[in-house]
Amino acid sequence: MTVPEAIPGYSLAETPRRHVRQRPDAPALVFEDVTLTYGDFDKACSRVANAFKASGIAEGDRVAFLGKNIPEYFTFAFGAAKIGAVTVGVNWRLAPPEIDFILDHGEVKLLVIDKEYLGHLDVLKLAGNPIILTVGGDGTHPEFADWMADHSNDDPGFVPHPDDTAMQVYTSGTTGKPKGVEITHRNLGASFAPFIQITGLSSDSVTLQVLPMFHIGGSMGAYLGLWCGSTNVVQREINPADMLPAVAKHRVTNIMSVPAVLQMFPAVPGAQQLDLSSVKLINYGASPISQDVLDSTMELFGCPLTQTYGLTESCGLVSYLPPEDHDPTGPRAHLMRSAGKPTPGAEIKIVGPDGKEMPEGETGEIWTRSYQNMKGFWKDPEATAAVFPEGRDADGLGWLATGDAGAMEGGYLFIKDRVKDMIVSGAENIYPAEIENVLMSHPDIADTAVIGIPSEKWGETPLAFVVAENGYELDSEDIIAYCAERLARYKLPSKIEFVKEIPRNPSGKILKVELRKPYWKGHERAVN
């Protein structure tokens, strides 16, 4: 089996150390009008690491960051790695009860919160009583910059073990509770090797980092850019009107995005007048690209595109569709609907309900094996064992069951459906169970079921079927408002349909296939 273990010597802690030796004066992070060189970056990471130690943070402790993309996130994350602490990036889209769960479940010892979200402190319960630092200041809690300022630039010298947890990424759970995915330094290093082959990133590259850092796609893209010694242009959040001028101004060479964002670029005022010729590659993921979006993107940028498919548990990489397969009018046009071929170092097989591998062209669950696969779910050995049905060997290798259904045809992976009921909306994973749990807590709702329906803009959006308690008349807007107090905005149902009953099989399981059929009629597959 040809599976590379990882980039030799890779760790998050080694990234700033590597470049302070090789290119201390080269730009590492560009944010608005501020540029941080690799020398500046390494020193700031060391000050943060020493401030962590002085605050009582030890190896293995979880430290969290709640905020959009700002330079402080990077010095926080890589500073944590320099003492062996584990970064938890908190999804800033979540509602306070969801944030509380993550901070409590993750046993977070220290939380940095950006000024935009200081209002959450009035409603967060913070049961674990973490140390609170702010960026932007609220006059009550210590300011992050002041907290780190007086500490030494000397590197603490901690060297993580490859199998130490580097970051903990929370994903939505099938039971309605998020799971903390433990990603090790080895996992990251094993994913970087194929990513570098696919993207061609180097110290000459200029990347645009706009995907959120709490998301595996955002953090992986940024961590890879820093490992390669690239110049990384950071923006707080996805805003096509800001992204395109930044591409032209900084001569960006590599963009990581999603089709939902790519389709917005041509409509940006003045887009066609900008010089975007510096872009060498656009890497997109989360969903296949339509021919219209492909055509408009290639016309605007004039560069090749690559698709990648993966999941948080595999560091965001399982397969890829290279530029030569983006040929919608040629003999390989059918490949545009595929998720590509296995990435270097990863294996894929399709497994049936009996646990046996399916023949070519037959649909089953997608399993993958590589050193990219996660260490496990934090504090959840049962769930970890469930996604590694055959266990793992002494080297930690085992087949990860993805929960997606697909087939291999001619060496290419075609995704057909989801074994789980997950909805992917604008590159965000949404599990219906989360929404269903909230809806069932409503005193006037007797039963409910949530499915994903097609959305031209977002790919899919949640639709909730609701049975009222004892014939009680409910209002759609009131129900959505009820959900908005308890769920992130992107998880809110786009529509409520009132029904007399929810269809179930004899064992009581909701027949979601039947519920989805009318909405997916005319689509090639039950995912968009």
pTM comes to 0.83
What's the pLDDT score for residue 1? Answer: 30
Name the pLDDT band for 503 (thresholds 50, 70, 90). confident
Name the pLDDT band for 6 (thresholds 50, 70, 90). low
What's the pLDDT score for residue 175? Answer: 56
**Residue percentage of the chain with pLDDT more than 70:** 94
- The helix/strand/coil state of 306 is strand
Burial of 411 (0-12, 13-18, 19+ CB in 10 A): exposed
What integer best gives the mean pLDDT of the chain?
90
Q: What is the mean pLDDT of residues 308-332?
A: 91
Q: Using the predicted structure, report yes or no on whether residue 330 has a pLDDT greater than 70.
A: yes
Burial of 167 (0-12, 13-18, 19+ CB in 10 A): buried
Q: What is the mean pLDDT of residues 25-51?
A: 97
Contact 89, 312 (CB under 8 A): no
Q: Using the predicted structure, report yes or no on whether residue 435 has a pLDDT greater than 90.
A: no
What's the pLDDT score for residue 415? Answer: 83
What's the pLDDT score for residue 524? Answer: 60
Name the pLDDT band for 3 (thresholds 50, 70, 90). very low
Sheet of 319-321: strands edge to edge?
Answer: 34-37, 27-31, 231-234, 206-209, 254-257, 281-285, 305-309, 319-321, 341-342
Name the pLDDT band for 329 (thresholds 50, 70, 90). confident
Q: Using the predicted structure, report yes or no on whether residue 130 has a pLDDT greater than 90.
A: yes
DSSP-derived letter for residue 343 is: P
Tokens encoding 16: 């700033």
Name the pLDDT band for 430 (thresholds 50, 70, 90). confident
DSSP H or E stretch at residue 182: strand 179-184
Q: What is the mean pLDDT of residues 93-117?
A: 95
Contact 134, 120 (CB under 8 A): no
Distance of CA 236 to the CA centre of its chain: 16
Q: Which residue has the higher pLDDT, 156 or 285?
A: 156
Tokens encoding 13: 């802690």
Q: Which residue has the higher pLDDT, 142 or 472?
A: 142
Q: How many CB atoms lie within 10 A of CB 456?
A: 9
Q: What is the mean pLDDT of residues 213-231?
A: 95
Q: Using the predicted structure, report yes or no on whether residue 222 has a pLDDT greater than 60.
A: yes
pLDDT by residue (tens digit) across 381-427? 999 999 999 999 988 899 999 988 888 999 999 887 666 677 888 87
Task: Please tell me the distance from the alpha carbon of residue 90 to that of residue 67, in angstroms, as a whole number.
Answer: 8
CA dist list (Å): 119 to 91, 100, 115, 137 = 15, 14, 8, 12
Q: Using the predicted structure, report yes or no on whether residue 22 has a pLDDT greater than 60.
A: yes
Name the pLDDT band for 2 (thresholds 50, 70, 90). very low
Task: Please tell me the distance from the alpha carbon of residue 448 to that of residue 435, in angstroms, as a whole number.
Answer: 9
Name the pLDDT band for 528 (thresholds 50, 70, 90). low
Task: Please tell me the distance from the alpha carbon of residue 154 to that of residue 202, in angstroms, as a whole number.
Answer: 28
Strand partners, 231: 206
pLDDT by residue (tens digit) across 160-181? 999 999 999 998 655 568 899 9
Task: Please tell me the distance from the alpha carbon of residue 478 to that of residue 475, in angstroms, as a whole number.
Answer: 5
Q: Which of 79-93, 373-387, 407-421 has the lowest mean pLDDT?
A: 407-421
